[in-house]
Amino acid sequence: MTGEVETREAPVLPRLETGVPGLDTVLSGGLPVGRTCLVTGSPGTGKTTLGSQLAFHHAAAGGRVVVATLVSETHDLMLANLRGFRFFDPTLVGDRVHYLNLFDALVEEGLDGVVASIRRVLRDTGASLLIIDGAAAIEDVAASRIALRRFAQQLQAQAAVLSATTVLLTGHGRDELGILGAHVDGVLVLANELMGARHERHLEVLKLRGGQHVTGIHQFTISGNGLTVFPRLESVAGAYRPPEAPQERSGLGTGVPGLDAMLGGGLLPLSSTLVMGTPGAGKTLLGLSFLMEGANRGERGLMAGFHETEPDLIATAAGIGLDLRRAVEAGLIRILWHPPLELSADAWAWRLLAGVSEHRPHRVFVDAITDIQRFIASPQRMPTYAAALTNELRAREATALIAAEIDAYVDDQLVVPVPAASATMDNGILLRQVELRSSLRRLVSVLKVRQLGSDPAIREFVVGDQGIAVSGPFATSSGLLTGRGTEGSPSGDDAP
């Protein structure tokens, strides 16, 4: 005996993959094999669709499934409803997916008859996955709470002995889980909640014995592919922030030489930059210049936008002398467009990251993060969401330029559109329009730059058919950052 305490890692239960995109990430690999889980939610939340998706994925992978029903809906009608989903394969029905109606056994023989019927069909088919739809009916016929507890224990013991993972589908809400919820090994809650004038589908794992899972609420959708779960971005992404880029590496040009000089030589590789500005200040033009500067050097770029489509952006870029069409046709720049309607912040983020993983761009331009911010219900979430997004882009070796729109043209103070999230960015640039002498003047200022020295001056810039040109300091006395410029000698008159 050495006196040292021996430590052993807890055994990890094998998992059964669900085949539902995103769900296995939330479940940290899938459902525990040989255990019993409960999927609950009000009518219309997607429980039966989820159970069918699990069944046909497992069967397509070579497993055998029993789908037992305790509902009045006939199997023919259930199968007819599944024909609209791409996961449904009618050739598997009767071969690897077996349907069993337990309603008569429940009414005539009670809970013992249900257990006996399940045991018999599992042994006959060799099924390793059991789906029981309409499990709420079990509680309706239970003679007592003790009888219901006994049924739950028998079901669990049977699943363990036969190595059959069991999933119960019930219409109870999360506050009505009762005895079944207490005795099963896992509980998944589906919800379809009204958010303003639209519905959002949410999934939550209340518990999952025998392994870790991702807590909290995650959005999901139902389409022709079945359920797709979008894990809450910051819960599974962005935890690792790669090291800072070496200072000796040269900065990446923005395509605007005057701005590069203000930034101390450009943007550090793998950094994130927030570009704030009022509508029409030039955020999109700067982003296009940033991407085209990379394309001219043979670097891939990706733009994720919400307002201008690809043809619109090509025309906009041509107006300042940038041949975006050539870069797109050459495969150097890819444009991801999504209208800012009925957005899911997490769904958009995962689609962006999938596009980044596929295209592997050196430069990414997001226009604009404020379009996403409107669909995040809790303002407290925005800083962690933005940090997760920028860290993931950095981990994928992309330098990010992220636009944010300032709604007010003139204000008493500079209002940052994403105040807490902006602190997570490496650099900050402000584009502003100010009215002087009955005309609008565009101004640019560098609010912060990490690791490099920057020019503190507020400078005027102009947009022409040859791009963006930055001139000398704008020589008004004060108020430029808020859009309330005080009359003075503007750049181009008395200023250098």
496 within a domain of the structure (yes/no) = no
Q: What is the CATH number of the domain that holds 204?
A: 3.40.50.300
Question: Is residue 20 within 8 Å of 203, Cβ to Cβ?
Answer: no
Same domain, 437 and 372: yes
Strand order in the sheet with 198-208: 97-101, 65-69, 129-133, 165-170, 36-40, 186-195, 198-208, 217-223, 226-230
Same domain, 336 and 454: yes
pLDDT at position 436: 73
7 within a domain of the structure (yes/no) = no
Q: Read off the DSSP letter of residue 28.
A: T
130 within a domain of the structure (yes/no) = yes
Same domain, 331 and 220: no
Q: Is the pLDDT at 5 greater than 60, yes or no?
A: no
In this prediction, residue 115 has a pLDDT band, given cuts at 50, 70 and 90, of: confident
Q: Which of 91, 79, 70 is nearest to 138 (CA)?
A: 70
Same domain, 265 and 388: yes
Same domain, 40 and 187: yes
331 within a domain of the structure (yes/no) = yes
Cα-Cα-Cα-Cα torsion 232, 235, 240, 244, nearest 10 degrees, comes to 60
Same domain, 228 and 264: no
The last residue of a domain, from among 232, 266, 284: 232
Report the distance separating Cα 295 and Cα 335, nearest Å. 13
Same domain, 201 and 324: no
Same domain, 316 and 227: no
Question: Is residue 328 within 8 Å of 335, Cβ to Cβ?
Answer: yes
Q: Which of 78, 101, 79 is nearest to 90 (CA)?
A: 79
Same domain, 133 and 203: yes
pLDDT at position 244: 60
Same domain, 386 and 336: yes
Mean pLDDT of 318-327: 96
Q: What percent of the chain has pLDDT over 70?
A: 85
User: 385-400 pLDDT, tens per residue?
Assistant: 999 999 999 999 999 9
Range of the domain at 82: 15-232
In this prediction, residue 486 has a pLDDT band, given cuts at 50, 70 and 90, of: low
Q: Is the pLDDT at 141 greater than 80, yes or no?
A: no
481 within a domain of the structure (yes/no) = no
Residues 6 or more apart from 118 whose CB is under 8 A from it? 66, 68, 100, 102, 130, 132, 155, 158
Which parts of 163-282 fold into alpha helices (H)? 178-183, 233-236, 257-262
241 within a domain of the structure (yes/no) = no
pLDDT at position 183: 78
What is the distance, to the nearest Å, from the Cα of residue 392 to the centroid of all Cα atoms in its chain?
12
Residue type at position 312: D
> How many domains in the chain?
2
CB atoms within 10 A of CB 301: 27
Same domain, 146 and 280: no
